[in-house]
Amino acid sequence: MPTTASPNRPLHPRRSRVCYVFLVILTLIFIIAVGFLITWLVTKPKKLHYSLENASVQNFNLTDDNHMSATFKLTIQSHNPNHRISVYYNSVEIYVKFKDQTLAFDTMEPFHQPRMNVTQIDDTLVAQNVAVSKSNGKDLRDQHSLGKIELEVYVKAKVRFKVAVWKSSHRTAHIKCSHATVYLSQSNKSLNSSCEADI
């Protein structure tokens, strides 16, 4: 039998080492991917949901030179539908805006929202002699005379997620409740508007 073209000749040793390293890397990537998939399946992250449940304006006063004062009472509902993820809220900032202008601002104490939890966030924001533009002043006056004002409530918060003992890094959550119709004092109509969240 001719022995010149032995089919069992081993591969070039350097090539086989490269092959081996490549295989190890592929296996590692595969294991990491499966790990992520399992974590994902076990935690099944669901979107956090926010809505503006209640809002009212009191002590509304708009002077002739367009300086506004008012007290806004808000109830924002935060819903964490996740079975295994809890949420830490740090440095929560709440803004009440009319069109492009911020009328009132407040910060809230940090809090932790457990799994499968609905939390009501009540806050009172005060606008004190805030200068508004001429056209916004006119729109505010018009809407006020109809007994309701269309505002935007904007919440900016630093959040962290916790799964078992693992905590994620900080992310900034932007929560926007646009076109919130807020009724004037004494009105107890509850509004229920869903907010957009970008986390």
Residues that bind ligand NAG (CB under 6 A): 53-54, 56, 61, 63, 73, 75, 114, 117-119, 188-190, 192
Report in angstroms how near the CB of residue 135 gets to ligand NAG at its nearest: 20
Pick 20 or 162: Cβ nearer ligand NAG: 162
> Hey, CA dihedral for 104, 108, 112, 118, is it positive or negative?
negative
10/181 Cα distance (integer angstroms): 78
Residue 146 CA to its chain's centroid (Å): 32
Report in angstroms how near the CB of residue 80 gets to ligand NAG at its nearest: 8
Pick 59 or 107: Cβ nearer ligand NAG: 59
Report in angstroms how near the CB of residue 160 gets to ligand NAG at its nearest: 15
Give bridge partners of residue 71 from the DSSP assignment. 58, 126
What count of other Cβ atoms lies within 10 Å of the Cβ of residue 88? 17
Pick 26 or 118: Cβ nearer ligand NAG: 118
Instruction: State the DSSP code for 191.
Output: -
Pick 91 or 187: Cβ nearer ligand NAG: 187
H runs (alpha helix) in the chain: 13-43, 134-145
Report in angstroms how near the CB of residue 196 gets to ligand NAG at its nearest: 14
